[in-house]
């Protein structure tokens, strides 16, 4: 199995996400007003920042994992057959975390013996 992205690409995407969130919360342009007037509104902004930044970090970390992309399908977990085909199209799965919803890539395999599908990474 192999990673779906490189560290450099992941770090670049995380920097862009951080910069966009920072611009939303504390604009570089001094003429743009800061949003929120109460501490509660600032906390809401911080919570949103946390959810989006942590979600992006979790998504990138999942793509960096050595198990992100299977090159061989392996055995079927349902019938143990080796007659398994790795499907070309990947789908996305949404996961609810303590920091919000995260979208992760997921590969699919189809067993030619029992015709069931599964993810080679177990995700």
Q: What is the pLDDT of residues 24-54, one digit of tens each?
A: 999 999 999 999 999 999 999 999 999 999 9
Number of domains in the chain: 1
Q: Is the CB of residue 75 less than 8 Å from the CB of residue 31?
A: no
pLDDT at 47: 93
Q: State which residues form the domain around 35.
A: 7-118
Domain membership flag for residue 1: no
Q: Which segments of the chain have a pLDDT < 50?
A: none
From CA 77, how far away is CA 116, in angstroms rounded? 9
Domain membership flag for residue 123: no
Rounded to two decimals, the pTM is 0.72
In the structure, how many helices (H) and strands (E) does the chain have? 2, 5
């Amino acid at each position: 199995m192999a990673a779906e992205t490189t560290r450099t690409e992941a770090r670049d995407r995380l920097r862009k996400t951080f910069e966009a969130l920072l611009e939303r919360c504390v604009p570089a342009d001094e003429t743009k007003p800061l949003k929120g007037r109460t501490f509660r509104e600032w906390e809401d902004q911080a919570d949103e920042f946390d959810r989006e930044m942590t979600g992006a970090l979790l998504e990138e970390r999942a793509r960096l994992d050595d198990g992100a992309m299977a090159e061989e399908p392996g055995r079927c977990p349902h019938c143990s057959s080796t007659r398994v085909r790795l499907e070309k199209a990947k789908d996305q799965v949404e996961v609810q975390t303590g920091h919000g919803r995260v979208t992760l890539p997921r590969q699919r395999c189809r067993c030619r013996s029992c015709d069931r599908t599964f993810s080679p990474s177990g995700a």
